[in-house]
């Protein structure tokens, strides 16, 4: 018969008191790191049933991180998750996607269940959340359970890792100027989303600081393909047309180009187009789409690094709204430079 391992066995194996062993395994009292390590190594060696949530991070085989979001069909969410998956492969972290789109439970209720299902931390991507919603979420969790947002808001209350959206817009305007375009336009994202306005503001600030550039057209979109298509018709009716347009995400850029090409325009000869997100479709469309490159693996690396550090430190410090910015770059392709070969427009004969 296999002998049941008790706290007494671990105490005898380590030379520490039973009460010290108990405090270590339940994480309910102060104990030195050295003794804590001795106790957990003994517990594992003796096959004592140790709760993974109480095991020190450095002694675990894996930690489990949930990415909580409203998931919709499209390349963006696939690219986001792939970036985190790539970032996790060189760590002891595992990532899981948890969608709150098709459920009757509120996001707060779903997130509050994470600890019960053996998750160690959560990454929150809820672009529709505001300050009040984040406050509710933070108050639902003990301070030592790491939560990190990857969706910026104007007045952040949760510590956040996000892309440098302002720089993205700035890079596009600079590229347009370097290509010799002077009359520019923009299709902005939703005005209630902080990162959408940062993209636009970076673009506008560069224009306003230049003697060569002017903004002659703008259209308010919502990040959808349909709004990109609608933006083209607004552009078509504009009395003064831009030579180059910054669409603040790739879906709207592709939507705009879809209607423009069907209407007989050649991009970039008639109008240059740049997007944002650098999704796989940028290389599949003709012409290929210039776009602000957002490295999702770098976003994942920084976010996971913060989570692991907090778990190691067992930090109970409250969130301050600190923002870590991940650098972006510009992937330049045919839509803002020139076609590798001028193709015969296949849509000219269509009605």
Residue bearing the bigger pLDDT, 314 or 289? 289
Least confident of 23-37, 184-198, 203-217, 234-248: 23-37
Read off the pLDDT band of 324 (50, 70, 90).
very high
Which tens digit of pLDDT belongs to each residue from 119-153?
A: 888 999 988 888 888 888 888 777 778 899 999 88
CB atoms within 10 A of CB 104: 5
Q: Closest Cα to residue 128, out of 187, 70, 199, 200?
A: 70
Query: CATH 3.40.50.2300: does it fit domain 63-163+296-327?
Result: yes
Least confident of 54-58, 123-127, 246-250: 54-58
Q: What is the rounded CA–CA span in Å between residue 245 and residue 186?
A: 5
Question: What mean pLDDT comes out for the span 13-26?
Answer: 88
Q: Phi, psi at residue 318, to the nearest 5°?
A: -75, 155
pTM of the model: 0.82
pLDDT at 315: 60
Question: What mean pLDDT comes out for the span 22-43?
Answer: 83
Least confident of 34-38, 150-154, 188-192: 34-38
Has residue 313 got a pLDDT over 50? yes
Residue with tokens 């675990």: 60
Residue bearing the bigger pLDDT, 281 or 55? 281
CB-based contacts of 139, cutoff 8 Å, min separation 6: none
Q: Mean pLDDT for the chain?
A: 87
Question: Is the bond preceding residue 287 a cis peptide, omega within 30 degrees?
Answer: yes
Most distant CA pair in the chain, distance: 89
| DSSP type of residue 146 | -
Residue bearing the bigger pLDDT, 165 or 22? 165
Residue bearing the bigger pLDDT, 93 or 247? 247
Q: Classify domain 165-294+331-336 by CATH number.
A: 3.40.50.2300
In the CATH scheme, what architecture does the domain 7-59 have? Answer: Orthogonal Bundle (1.10)
Least confident of 67-71, 138-142, 167-171: 138-142
Q: What is the rounded CA–CA span in Å between residue 305 and residue 326?
A: 13
Has residue 251 got a pLDDT over 80? yes
Question: What mean pLDDT comes out for the span 87-111?
Answer: 79
Read off the pLDDT band of 346 (50, 70, 90).
very low
| From-to residues of CATH 1.10.260.40 in the chain | 7-59
Q: CB-based burial of residue 82 (10 Å sphere; 0-12 exposed, 13-18 middle, 19+ buried)?
A: middle
Give, in order, the Cα–Cα distances in Å from 97 to each of 69, 80, 279, 302. 8, 10, 19, 18
Residue bearing the bigger pLDDT, 217 or 140? 217
Cβ–Cβ under 8 Å, residues 40 and 24: yes
pLDDT at 347: 43
**Could you give the percent of the chain with pLDDT greater than 70?**
88
Which tens digit of pLDDT belongs to each residue from 269-288?
A: 999 999 999 999 999 999 99
pLDDT at 98: 84
pLDDT at 317: 65
pLDDT at 261: 96
| From-to residues of CATH 3.40.50.2300 in the chain | 63-163+296-327, 165-294+331-336
Q: What is the rounded CA–CA span in Å between residue 331 and residue 293?
A: 6
């Amino acid at each position: 018969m296999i002998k049941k391992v008790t706290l007494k066995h671990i105490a005898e194996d380590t030379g520490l008191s039973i009460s010290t062993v108990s405090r270590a395994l339940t994480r309910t009292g102060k104990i030195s790191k050295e003794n804590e390590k001795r106790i957990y190594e003994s517990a594992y060696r003796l096959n004592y049933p140790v709760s993974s949530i109480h095991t020190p991070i450095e002694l675990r085989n894996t930690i489990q991180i949930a990415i909580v979001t409203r998931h919709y069909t499209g390349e963006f969410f696939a690219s986001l998750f792939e970036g985190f998956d790539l970032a996790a492969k060189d760590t002891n972290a595992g990532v899981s996607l948890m969608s709150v789109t098709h459920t009757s439970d509120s996001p707060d209720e779903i997130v509050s269940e994470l600890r019960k299902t053996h998750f160690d931390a959560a990454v929150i991507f809820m672009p529709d959340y505001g300050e009040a919603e984040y406050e509710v979420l933070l108050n639902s969790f003990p301070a030592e359970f790491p939560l990190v947002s990857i969706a910026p808001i104007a007045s952040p209350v949760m510590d956040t890792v996000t892309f440098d959206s302002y720089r993205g817009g700035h890079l596009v305007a600079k590229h347009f100027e370097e290509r010799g375009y002077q009359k520019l336009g923009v299709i902005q994202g939703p005005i209630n989303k902080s990162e959408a306005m940062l993209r636009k503001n970076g673009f506008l600030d560069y224009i306003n600081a230049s003697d060569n550039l002017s903004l002659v057209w703008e259209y308010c979109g919502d990040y959808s393909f349909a709004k990109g298509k609608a933006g083209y018709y607004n552009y078509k009716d504009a009395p003064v047309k831009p030579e180059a347009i910054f669409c603040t995400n790739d879906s709207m850029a592709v939507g705009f180009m879809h209607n423009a090409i069907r209407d007989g325009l050649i991009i970039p000869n008639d109008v240059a187009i740049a997007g944002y997100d650098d999704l796989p479709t940028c290389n599949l469309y003709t012409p290929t789409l210039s776009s602000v490159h957002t490295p999702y693996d770098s976003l994942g690396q920084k976010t996971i690094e913060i989570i692991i550090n907090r778990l190691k430190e067992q930090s109970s410090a409250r969130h301050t709204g600190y923002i870590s910015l991940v650098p972006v770059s510009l992937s330049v392709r045919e839509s803002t430079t020139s076609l590798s070969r001028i193709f015969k427009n296949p849509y000219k004969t269509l009605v």
